[in-house]
Amino acid sequence: MLLGGLGGLYGVTAGPKVLAAPIMPPDLSKCHDAKAPALHDHCCPPYDPSETISEYGFPATPLRVRRPAHLVKDDQEYLDKYKEAVRRMKNLPAEHPWNYYQQANIHCQYCNDAYYQQNTDDVPVQVHFSWIFLPWHRYYLHFYERILGKLIDDDTFTIPFWNWDTKEGMTFPAIFQDASSPLYDPKRDQRHVKDGAILDLKYAYTDNPASDSEIIRENLCFIQKTFKYSLSLAELFMGDPVRAGEKEIQEANGQLEVIHNAAHMWVGEPDGYKEDMGDFSTAARDSVFYCHHSNVDRMWDIYRNLRGNQVEFEDKDWLDSTFLFHDENEQLVKVKASQMLSPIYTHPCKCKRNVIGDCLNPTKLRYTFEQVPLPWLGKINCQKTAETKSKATTELSLTRVGEFGTTPQALDASNPLRVIVARPKKNRKKKEKQEKVEVIQIKDIKVTTNETARFDVYVAVPYGDLAGPDYGEFVGSFVRLAHGKKGSDGTQEQGAKKKGKLKLGITALLEDIDAEDADKLVVTLVLRTGSVTVGGVSIKLLQTDTPAVI
C-alpha cells in the first residue's frame, strides 16, 4: 500500500531528487572500459594530463545555414568540400582528438558507461534517455561541424540535415551511398539504403507491409502527433530531468528521441550488433549519424519556435548541465546547456505561436537551418475515420478488459496488453487543459535483454467496461536501442539495469477523437520487438509549462 502511494507521488513529479544538481563533465583521467560488444576494443580517448579546460569562446563567424541532404545532392562544390573535410578527418593521426574515429568514440564514451559522474563510482554519464539528450547532441554536432570546416578552411561549412520529415527526404540520403566516398559506410542495412526504400519511423526490424504512400502518411502523422501531444510540456518531447548523482530514477526519453531511434535501427545492420547506426557504441562511425542528428536538432528548433521560443526547463539543473568537447582550435572546452540558449531571450523577431515564420532561432552557436516546407504541420488526417469507429461498435466482438493491477506484466508480441484506465477527470474545460496536460504514464518498464525493444501505445474509448476489437488511436512509442554490454568475463551481460518510464500527452488526442467525456480509456501496448515488462499504466494530470498552442 505504502509503496503504491509513493509510486503515485513520484509519478506526478519528475522523480525523487537525490542531489538536485546539474550533470557535470566527468573526470577525464578516469575512463573505463566501455562495455559494448560491437567494439573490438574500448572507446576511451587518449588522455593528456597536461591539457587544461577553458571556457568556450562562442564563435563570431558568419551564420552557417544547414541544408537538406536530398537537396545538396546536386551541389558538387559543396559535396566535394564535405567529402574532403571527412577525408582529412579520417587521415588525421589515430590519437588526434579530431580524428574521425576519435570523434565517433565520443558518442560511445557518453552512452556506454566509459565515464562515471564526478564523486560517484558507479553512476555513468549518460546523454540519452533524458532532458540532456538534445543539448548534448547539439554541442556534439556544433563542434564536429566546426572542426570539419576548419579542416578545409571554410567557416561557412555545414553538416546537411536528413530531412526525414518530408516526403522527398524520407529515403536514405544518396550522398552517403557512394561506395568510393569517405561518407560511405558498408555497415548498413543494404535493403534500406539502396533502393529508395521509405524510412519507417515505427521500424522494429520487420518491414512495414504498407504502401510507400501509406508509410509516408504514417510518418508525417507520427511527427505531427509528437509535436501536438507534447507541445504544452517540454519533458514529453525532450525527456525527463536527470540530475547529478541520481542512480535510481526511471529514465524517460521524450518522443523526439523515440522517433530518432527508428532511423538508427533502420540504417544499422539488421543482424549481429546492428552496426554501425543501430548500436550507440558504434553509431557515430557512420557519417549519416551527424546528418540524422542535424534533423533531430532542427526538430528541436522548430518545437521551440512553436512554443514562442520560451525556455524549455526553467530549472538550474538543466540550464547548468555542463559538457566537455574539443573545439575547432584543439582546445578542451566546457559548455553549458544554457549558453546555447541565451540570445533567444532577446531575439528581435516576434515569432507568433503556431506560425513558422522567418524566425527560426539563430543561436550563439552561429548556425541555422534552411527553411523547407513542413508537411506534417499542415492538415493531414491522422485520426481513424468515423467508418472504422462505427465498424468497431457493430462488430459486437467486444471483450472485457481489466485494470492493470499491481503485478508487473511481460508484454507478449502475439497478444497485446490491453488495460482499462480511469481518467483523473473528464469534461475538462479549456482553462484546465491549458494548466494541466493529461498524460498516459507507463512505469517500471524493464527491457529484459540487451536487444532492441519497442512497443507502441494506442488509446480507445471503451463501451462500458468492454473494449472493441480496434486498438484505436496511435499515441506514441517506447524504444530502447540495443545496448549491448560485455560482462567482465567477456560474455554478454543480460538485462538492462535501469527501469524506464514512458509519458505520452493525450489532451489534444482526446479532443481529436471527441472523447473528452469518457471516464475511462482502453490503453493497448503492442510489443513490436524485444522483451519488455511493465509495472503499471495510469493517467495523470501534469502541470503544463506553456498553454497548448498548436
Active site residues: 107, 128, 137, 260, 264, 280, 293
Helix (H, G, I), strand (E, B) or coil at 95: coil
DSSP state, 344?
G
- Identify the CA nearest to 542 among candidates 223, 226, 236: 236
Report, in Å, the least distance between residue 182 CB and ligand C2O. Answer: 21
Looking at beta carbons only, is 257 or 473 nearer to ligand C2O?
A: 257
Of these, 70, 150, 260, 454, which contacts ligand C2O (CB under 6 A)? 260
Site string for ligand C2O, 232-251 (x = CB under 6 A): --------------------
* Number of other CB atoms surrounding residue 15 within 10 Å: 18
Looking at beta carbons only, is 288 or 437 nearer to ligand C2O?
A: 288
Note whether 264 binds ligand C2O by CB under 6 A: yes
Note whether 128 binds ligand C2O by CB under 6 A: yes
Report, in Å, the least distance between residue 395 CB and ligand C2O. Answer: 42
The distance between the two most distant Cα atoms of the chain, rounded to a whole number of Å, is 75
Report, in Å, the least distance between residue 196 CB and ligand C2O. Answer: 23
Looking at beta carbons only, is 198 or 291 nearer to ligand C2O?
A: 291
Note whether 307 binds ligand C2O by CB under 6 A: no
DSSP state, 223?
H
**Burial letters for 125-159: b for 16+ Cβ neighbours within 10 Å, e otherwise?**
bbbbbbbbbbbbbbbbbbbbbbbbbbbbeeeebbb
Q: How far apart are CA 289 and CA 280, in angstroms?
A: 10
**Burial letters for 183-192: b for 16+ Cβ neighbours within 10 Å, e otherwise?**
bbbebbbeeb
Residues of this chain, 204-233, that bind ligand C2O according to CB under 6 A: none
- Identify the CA nearest to 228 among candidates 383, 431, 388: 383
Quote the cell numbers at residue 282. Answer: 558504434
HSE-CB at 17 with a 13 A cutoff on CA atoms is 8
Report, in Å, the least distance between residue 108 CB and ligand C2O. Answer: 10
- Identify the CA nearest to 359 among candidates 371, 343, 373: 371
Note whether 285 binds ligand C2O by CB under 6 A: no
Looking at beta carbons only, is 128 or 150 nearer to ligand C2O?
A: 128
Strand bridging mode 500-505 / 417-422: unpaired
Site string for ligand C2O, 79-118 (x = CB under 6 A): ----------------------------x---x-------
Looking at beta carbons only, is 35 or 107 nearer to ligand C2O?
A: 107
Note whether 138 binds ligand C2O by CB under 6 A: no
Report, in Å, the least distance between residue 293 CB and ligand C2O. Answer: 6
Report, in Å, the least distance between residue 277 CB and ligand C2O. Answer: 8
Strand ranges inside 120-192, DSSP E: none
Tell whether the torsion through CA atoms of 143, 147, 153 and 158 is positive or negative.
negative
- φ/ψ of 485, rounded to 5, equals -135, 135
- Residues at the contact surface with ligand C2O, assessed by CB under 6 A: 107, 111, 128, 137, 260, 264, 280, 283, 293
